[in-house]
Structure 1
Amino acid sequence: MQYDWTQDEWTQRRRLVQFWRSEKNNRILCGFQPVAQEAHGGQMNQIPGLCIVSCVYWEARQDYFITSVDLINLLQFVMDISLSMEEKNRIRRNLEGFKPITVSKGRPDTADFFRVIMNFPNPKPRNIEKDVKVFEWSALPYALKKIVTKYRTTVLQKTITQEGVVDGNAGVSPTSAAPPSVVQQILDM
């Protein structure tokens, strides 16, 4: 997603990336592609079956980033769940290993980038106008895999009954129940 940007994307300093998902054989399959702002029509990120996030270029660092808000929204989409605030905060803590940068209007080294993020039209990569954490875009596939695997393993373990049945599928024992994984396509972002 960091290559072959259009002139419009460079001007805006962001590329919209559209994700879609499916599940097959306990695996989450995801695909993604760039989508033009005009094609998106300024809608909020609520298109059924799709999730659109922003890959944002930070000129001062000459690197690409995703906001924690977009990352959490993408995680909810990939896992096909709605997270509580407590779960979102736990996930944010689990993502600290990916060394996010806090972007603030009060910090001279991040103020310009803060303004860039705050001025984006829909779909906005933030919820409200306050400090936001950003992750390097290159960390996205690893962050997704870590959280999806960790979260889905926890959910899976909670659904295993004493008889070793998962979601009504007989023959799955607690020891053989494997967590789903994210397909290689995600790792090739």
Structure 2
Amino acid sequence: VLRIRKPLSDITQNWSDFEKITCRRLVLFDWYASQTDLNVSFKPIEINEFPRYEQGSPIISCIYWDFKKEYYVTSVDIIYLLERLSGINSFDMKEKNRIRRNLQTLESLTIGKPKNFNKNNLNPYELDKFFKLIMSFNSPKPRNIEKDLKIYKWELLEEALQRVLGKYCFDLSNDQTAGLMR
């Protein structure tokens, strides 16, 4: 069972001036496995702290979209976090596609190059601006390549993790990480 130790909505509170200007907060996740649970904690970190954690616990981005006054996470970051929580270094393409299908029932937006603007019935200028903002982020990058990208409201992150991790069995015998056993 996935247990997140505090509400993920805490990440949307008390942003620094730098985070407000850049519309991005880095979130460091940590976890440990007990006999029955995968216990997850998280905290915001400053961009200058990133190199210290780069090879360790997963760091993803909470991205603020000023036009909509909402916080988002990319599908790329969700999959990356799932890889780390499951103890898998990198899911293969088949597994990533399976995860994307599991996430389809959650409300999402597809952002990308101008050809996709009409999919969301949103202001094309604002969509393009938000897409370019996400593409401009340096490491850790919340995207792989400059292409269409699915984004989810930050408030749906826990549901996304529960939904996907609930499809798997885990070997919780290792104290630090869970081993995916599908």
Query: 1:58 touches 1:65 (CA, 8 Å); kept in 2?
Result: yes
Structure 1 outlier segments of 4+, above 4 Å: none
Give the C-alpha shift of residue 34 in structure 1: 0.1
Give the C-alpha shift of residue 36 in structure 1: 0.3
The one-letter code of the counterpart of 1:132 is L
Give the C-alpha shift of residue 99 in structure 1: 1.6
Query: 1:105 touches 1:112 (CA, 8 Å); kept in 2?
Result: no
Residue 103 (str. 1) matches residue 111 (str. 2): yes
- 2:76 maps to 69
Aligned residue pairs, count: 153
The one-letter code of the counterpart of 1:127 is N
**Which among 114, 124, 127 is matched to residue 131 of structure 2?**
114
Larger radius of gyration: 1
- 1:56 maps to 63
The one-letter code of the counterpart of 1:139 is L
**Which among 142, 148, 151 is matched to residue 159 of structure 2?**
142
Residue 83 (str. 1) matches residue 100 (str. 2): no
Aligned counterparts of 1:46 and 1:148: Cα–Cα separation in 2? 24
**Unaligned stretches of 5+ in structure 1?**
157-166, 168-189
Residue 33 (str. 1) matches residue 33 (str. 2): no
Give the C-alpha shift of residue 105 in structure 1: 2.7
- 1:13 maps to 23
- 1:159 maps to none
**In 2 relative to 1, CA 36–46 (structure 1 residues): closer, same or farther, beyond 3 Å?**
closer
CA RMSD for the aligned pairs?
1.9
Q: Deviation digits for residues 18-51 of structure 1, max 9, x if unmatched? A: 001111113111110000001114x8x8422x00
- 1:93 maps to 101
- Provide the TM-score with structure 1 as the length reference: 0.76
Q: Deviation digits for residues 55-101 of structure 1, max 9, x if unmatched? A: 00011111000000000000111111131111101110110111210
Specify the SS of the correspondent of 1:97. Answer: coil
Aligned counterparts of 2:94 and 2:21: Cα–Cα separation in 1? 37
- 1:162 maps to none
The one-letter code of the counterpart of 2:82 is L
- 2:179 maps to none
Specify the SS of the correspondent of 1:150. Answer: coil
Aligned counterparts of 1:135 and 1:122: Cα–Cα separation in 2? 20
Aligned counterparts of 2:133 and 2:168: Cα–Cα separation in 1? 32
Residue identity over aligned pairs, in percent, reads 38
Aligned counterparts of 1:46 and 1:86: Cα–Cα separation in 2? 26
Give the C-alpha shift of residue 150 in structure 1: 1.1
Aligned counterparts of 1:88 and 1:69: Cα–Cα separation in 2? 10
